[in-house]
Amino acid sequence: MKKIFFVIILFTAAAYAQDDYVNVDNQVYSFLERMETLHIISGYNSFELPKPRKDIVNYLKEVIASKDKLDNVDRKILNDLEVEFEYELTGTLKNSESVLNSGSYDIFSQKNKYLFYYAKPHKADLFINLLGEGEGIFQNDVANKANLSTTLGVIGGEIKGTFLDHFGFSLKGTNGYVFGNKEVAKLREDIRYNFKFDENKPGEAFFDESEGYLTADYDMLRIKFGRQRMKIGYGPMKSIIDDFAPPFDYLGFNINYGFFNFSYFHGKLLGDSYFQPDSITGGIEVVAEKYIGYHRIGFNLSNAFNFGAGEMIIYGDRPLDLSYLNPFAFYKSIEHANRDRDNSFLFFDFNNKSITGLKLYSTLLIDDIDFGKLGTSWYGNQVLFDLGLYSVNLYKILPLDFKFEYTRVDPYVHTHRTGNTNFTNFGYNLGSILKPNSELFLGELNYRFTNRFNLDASFSYIIHGANPVLPNGTIINVGGDEALGHRTYDSNEAKLLDGDMEYSRITTALLTFEPVKQIFFSLKLVYYNESLQNSISNNQVQSYFILSAKL
């Protein structure tokens, strides 16, 4: 029976073959960034996530070889990671158990837990997990003297595996239900834009999400096709692509020569939408076609310095454009050849860690620019700039990390003449939460009480110049909204932070506790103190309590 079960799954894998990439929220990324900054590993760059398990394991091997340089907490974190990545490190599953494989299964053990696994090195492997999550959300609106709450339940599963060392697959699906206030549930971004969670249907409180991808891995060349969340950029607030917008499907590849690498993907986004009524069918939601292209070349000039340059393109209202499917072309030039209908971006990034325990990073994104008008307030000079540092200089004294980041987003950055070419997916900015015409000052602390008990605390101060709205509804466009590009009758002058000034002070504390392997408790507190346009104040506390398990 077990052989029949495996043949069925392997046949499915042949249809959905893909390699395993470690999800962007895995703790291994913060651990490796710390190891990179401490000069314990070399060649690691956190600019593009997620990364393949094979790469992560190679970095972990470097750390294992220098285990004596770690503090007590990181040694225990490394021990946990050695268990999590045991199969890739050693080819064994001595620290793993499953419901269907093992004679005994203890949900409270400190081993890797699976519903089922099969492993034959260099031939094929398969791992199946059940996923579960319960969450309580509480909102204390101080300004309106209102206390609201809701609870959510999520169940799902995950299947992943590889075969013949080069091909692999991953498939993850979840379904959830909201048991309380639906508006409070929308404090979670993934519910806010979820199609199944339709506010126009009072009895509908379900939501779902799915990820899946195929990969082929030939060491220097990796190909990936599917859907998985990604983050591109340095620091806590990713300046290129963050995970606030809905995930999207893409086809991409990476070429890695060691001293330099090339990354590319082409993805499908959701453009402007509207509801088209129909008396016979009941109507349908019409969504415009929209696409994104990305490529970047990165150079590892030394163990202490990385530099990269890349482009992005947003286009829509037509089928796939072969011009942008070509990864080895300058998007800006191709855009001109395509009669200037699309929205292109150029960016540069660097990462320097010459001083042990200190990393400096910066990104410059150019949405549009006229060098002849530099130094003026011309609206077409649209630049995003961030500068940050990551410090673990107290490593030998305290298990404490510190981050500071400054970001400036000029007016009209991420906008375009038409809605189907702005930098959004279904109306949500693909980058950070920052709107154009904004500045951000951010500080973050990470304290590791133990290997399983962690505190992340941050404070963000955001200044935003919002587009003024007159009593008759007329919008004075100062470039403060990515959904509204420059119009022919708008002023050609656009100074940073013009418009209605908005101030946001956001304090966040996140406690994460893993008492048992793969069972997590999280408590997140967020305090908003905002002064918004039209004399609106937002003063509220949001609390999130989450229990999640992977069995």
pLDDT in tens, 61-101: 999 999 999 999 999 999 999 999 998 888 888 888 888 87
pLDDT at residue number 376: 81
Helix (H) or strand (E) holding 407: strand 400-409
Structure confidence at residue 10 as a pLDDT band (50, 70, 90): very low
pLDDT at position 201 is 64
Q: What is the pLDDT of residues 342-399, one digit of tens each?
A: 999 999 999 999 999 999 999 999 988 877 777 788 888 899 999 999 999 999 999 9
Instruction: Determine the average pLDDT of the residues in 467-495.
Output: 92
**pLDDT higher at 238 or 202:** 238
**Strand (E) or helix (H) holding 64:** helix 53-65
Spatial distance between the Cα atoms of 344 and 388, rounded to a whole number of angstroms? 25
pLDDT value of residue 13: 36
Q: What pLDDT shows up at residue 202?
A: 62
Residue 481 pLDDT greater than 80, yes or no: yes
User: Would you say 209 and 194 are in contact if contact means Cβ atoms under 8 Å apart?
Assistant: yes
In percent, how much of the chain has pLDDT > 90? 66
pTM over 0.75: yes
User: How many CA atoms lie within 13 Å of 157's alpha carbon, on the beta-carbon side?
Assistant: 6
Instruction: Enumerate residues 6+ apart whose C-beta is below 8 A from 62.
Output: 35, 40, 41, 42
CB 81 within 8 A of CB 31: yes
- Under 8 Å CB-to-CB from 312, ≥6 apart: which residues? 240, 292, 293, 294, 331, 344, 345, 347
Domain that holds residue 354: 2-550
CATH of the domain at 14: 2.40.160.130
Torsion of CA 65, 69, 75, 80, to 10 degrees: -40
Residues 6 or more apart in contact with residue 180 via CB below 8 angstroms? 149, 150, 151
The alpha carbon dihedral of 8, 14, 15, 18 has a sign of positive
Task: Give the pLDDT mean for 415-437.
Answer: 89
Question: What separation, in Å, do the N-terminal and C-terminal C-alpha atoms of the chain show?
Answer: 22
What is the chain's mean pLDDT, rounded? 89
Give Cα separations from 151 to 243, 317, 548 (angstroms).
23, 39, 14
pLDDT band at 7 (very low <50, low <70, confident <90, very high): very low
Instruction: Say yes or no to pLDDT of 336 above 80.
Output: yes
Domain count, the chain: 1
Rounded CA-CA distance 254/217 in Å is: 10
Instruction: Identify the bridge partners of residue 549 per DSSP, sorted by sequence position.
Output: 132, 519
Average pLDDT estimate for 330-339: 91
Of 219, 208, 114, 109, nearest to 161 by C-alpha is 114
